[in-house]
Amino acid sequence: MTASAEKFTRQTLIDVQSLTPSLFTLRTTRDPGFRFVAGQFVRLGVSKPDGSLVWRAYSVVSSPFDEFLEFFSIVVPGGEFTSELSRLRAGDELLVERQATGFLTLDRFVDGRDLWLLGTGTGIAPFLSILQDFEVWEKFERIILVYSAREARELAYQTLIQQLGEREYLKEYAHKLTYLPIVTREQHPGALNGRITTLIKNGELERAAGVALTPEHSRVMICGNPQMIDDTRQLLKQRDMQLSLTRRPGQVAVENYW
């Protein structure tokens, strides 16, 4: 997959942080002309040793108003793209396509009272961008962030999540957010244990949130493992919650670029 020079900009890595041997975060400079809506993704490009370019789509973690771009990545063993990406360090170059895209954005919903953000692994990324944007806090009365990881050490951006309510522009809205971390492979204090689908089936997720998942009030965004997305969509469909389309507004939005 290639992109012409007119379609991307060359950005410089500002910071690279390893969370675990297989998870890391990247922060780059941002072209002054780059625009995106919170929740969208953009294609990133890296050069292979033979000089060829490889491209993959990544949701933007940072706010649309930040002067930098941030991304959250997993290392796929032997992966053509992530193997190269994980070797980059501060000062190295990363290609960023000029056009962001994606439909995991708030304009997918025309109404709703409670917003559920269901993310697994690096699928938390678009939700972090959405939560740093003012629009979501005005639009919904309740925001339930559900973040599932296999092990507690894989729960990234905990400080960012915990400090959202301390930001000056969000202080009066902080009470709207309920954060529910989930760890599936071990017991961890303060976290639920089990798959998102299991916790929806047995009602534990709704009990922990203190709010019900209903087609009338709930709007649900899902991002992460493809199987989780499919299974969760089926569960919500059983509750008469449909995918939101341009021609038919619904209660569920997903990102399928994984």
Q: Are residues 123 and 72 in the same domain?
A: no
CA distances from 228 to 38, 114, 135 (A): 22, 21, 27
Cα separation, 118 vs 108, whole angstroms:
16
Provide the 8-state DSSP code for 77. Answer: T
Q: Do 64 and 160 have their domain in common? A: no
CATH number for the domain that contains residue 58: 2.40.30.10
Phi, psi of 171 (to 5 degrees): -55, -45
Whether residue 190 sits in one domain with residue 208:
yes
Digit-coded pLDDT (tens) for 21-41:
999 999 999 999 999 999 999
Of the residues 50, 69, 97, the one at which a domain ends: 97
Task: Tell which of 75, 97, 119 closes a domain.
Answer: 97
116 with 77, same domain? Answer: no
Question: For every one of its 258 residues, what pLDDT tens digit does the chain have, with 9 covering 90 and above?
Answer: 444 557 999 999 999 999 999 999 999 999 999 999 999 999 999 988 888 999 999 999 999 999 999 999 999 888 889 989 999 999 999 999 999 999 899 999 999 999 999 999 999 999 999 999 999 999 999 999 999 999 999 999 999 999 999 999 999 999 999 999 999 999 999 999 999 999 999 999 999 999 999 999 999 999 999 999 999 999 999 999 999 998 899 999 998 755
Residues 110 and 236 in one domain: yes
HSE-up (13 A, CA, CB side) for residue 125 = 26
Q: CB count, 10 Å around CB of 77? A: 7
One domain, residues 238 and 215: yes
Same domain, 110 and 237: yes
- Retrieve residue 83's tokens: 């193997």
Nearest residue to 38 (alpha-carbon basis) of 73, 62, 57, 56: 62
Q: Are residues 83 and 114 in the same domain?
A: no
Q: Which two tokens stand for residue 57?
A: 């789509």
- Can you give the pLDDT at residue 4? 52
pLDDT in tens, 143-159: 999 999 999 999 999 99
Residues 208 and 119 in one domain: yes
CATH number of the domain enclosing 144? 3.40.50.80
Q: Residue 169 contacts by C-beta under 8 Å, 6 or more apart in sequence?
A: 134
Same domain for 137 and 88?
A: no
- The total of structural domains in the chain comes to 2
Q: Are 63 and 133 contained in the same domain? A: no
Is 124 found in the same domain as 248?
Answer: yes
The per-residue pLDDT for 1 is 43
66, 97, 128 — which closes off a domain? 97
DSSP 151-219: SGGG---HHHHHHGGGSTTTGGGGGGEEEEEEESSS--TTSB-S-HHHHHHTSHHHHHHTS---TTTEE
Distance, CA of 27 to CA of 42 (rounded, Å): 14
| Residue 60 structural domain | 5-97
